[in-house]
Structure 1
């Protein structure tokens, strides 16, 4: 008789209740998909190992704190979102030289830069960044991914296309749709971006 496989949500509940083995079952169940996803983005085994371990550190911490996990959501999707954020952080931290691009597509982002160093401008800039990232999070995944890689990781469209496995034209199309959607949300909600 085949062994019944417990659903992810039940294993999470058991882990939160103190059953450490439940997390091991979850990790074993999804390990290859998560590891493969990370590797497909970073293409480096050592970096993949580091991000994989940090992903599950965050998973454990979050579940132990009983915050941010929605039981109605899918465990694998949630973990992949954590891994994706860590990958973006890794690329962002590895960039040494900031690139300045002044194009029409950059207009939303160029408005949030301010070289004046006073506390009011710093607070405004931080709030605008938070608001902008919240708006970006609501974009479809493919549009959000290209925005994050292009503006926060300062990757070229060719690099983004290679990393995501699509053509440069598809990447450019995703960027165009993302910028159009961002502008609509900003105009609709009358969000003020300081110049």
Structure 2
């Protein structure tokens, strides 16, 4: 097991494909925080993010077991692309799902407040991370997405451009304007991190 912890992602993938389940466990533990955080920021719902996170690894396992993985040493960007695509699929599905509204056109689930935050969530939240998330939520979707993929998933601008179907210059521009907008929001609302 100790030898596996020193292995590259590609070596772990190969080891898992040869039947070593410990290799997959190491891969998951190595990248779970980045993948989960990115999903969570995109969907803005911890429980939905947990479901999507599980779906990501189910898809990864299926692909690896069927020997269809061919990313050649780019496991994390590949996994992030799967996560991003599952988030997009979720939003497309939600868009097609009719909502139940009250007489004043509010979503019924907002009115009845089905999910309440638990004490563990309040303890886990770090104030500065919470403030950053709130600021990120105020950004346009394209800018927020690039910032999340760059800072939380550590993807290159080339990988972000491929994932979001835009040019590298567009991704760089979205990042620049996103950061400028975050600074502007912090100044206007007098938010200190």
- TM-score normalised according to structure 2 size: 0.50
Match of 1:36 in 2: 37
Query: Hey, what's the Cα distance between the residues in 2 that align with 1:86 and 1:29?
Result: 20
RMSD: 3.1
Q: Which string of whole-angstrom CA distances, capped at 9 and with x for unpartnered residues, describes residues 133-152 of structure 1?
A: xxxxxxxxxxxxxxxxxxxx
| Aligned CA distance change for structure 1 residues 8 and 165 (closer, same or farther; 3 Å) | closer
TM superposition shift of 1:52: 0.2
Match of 1:64 in 2: 65
Match of 1:79 in 2: 79
Gaps of at least 5 residues in structure 2 are: 99-138, 148-160, 171-193
Query: Hey, what's the Cα distance between the residues in 2 that align with 1:97 and 1:13?
Result: 40
| Aligned CA distance change for structure 1 residues 97 and 64 (closer, same or farther; 3 Å) | closer
Query: Hey, what's the Cα distance between the residues in 2 that align with 1:86 and 1:64?
Result: 20
- TM-score normalised according to structure 1 size: 0.50
Query: Hey, what's the Cα distance between the residues in 2 that align with 1:97 and 1:159?
Result: 23
Q: Which string of whole-angstrom CA distances, capped at 9 and with x for unpartnered residues, describes residues 90-127 of structure 1?
A: 000000389xxxxxxxxxxxxxxxxxxxxxxxxxxxxx
Query: Hey, what's the Cα distance between the residues in 2 that align with 1:95 and 1:163?
Result: 20
3-state DSSP class of the match of 1:95?
A: helix
Match of 2:54 in 1: 53
Is it true that 1:164 corresponds to 2:165 in the alignment?
Answer: no
Gaps of at least 5 residues in structure 1 are: 99-157, 167-173, 182-195
Q: Is the 8 A contact 2:9 2:73 kept in 1?
A: no
Query: Hey, what's the Cα distance between the residues in 2 that align with 1:66 and 1:161?
Result: 33
Match of 2:19 in 1: 18
Q: Write the mapping of 1:1-195 to structure 2, written as runs, cut at 5 A.
A: 5-67=6-68, 69-96=69-96, 159-161=140-142, 163-164=144-145
TM superposition shift of 1:72: 1.6
Match of 2:114 in 1: none
Query: Hey, what's the Cα distance between the residues in 2 that align with 1:38 and 1:97?
Result: 21
Q: Is the 8 A contact 2:39 2:49 kept in 1?
A: yes
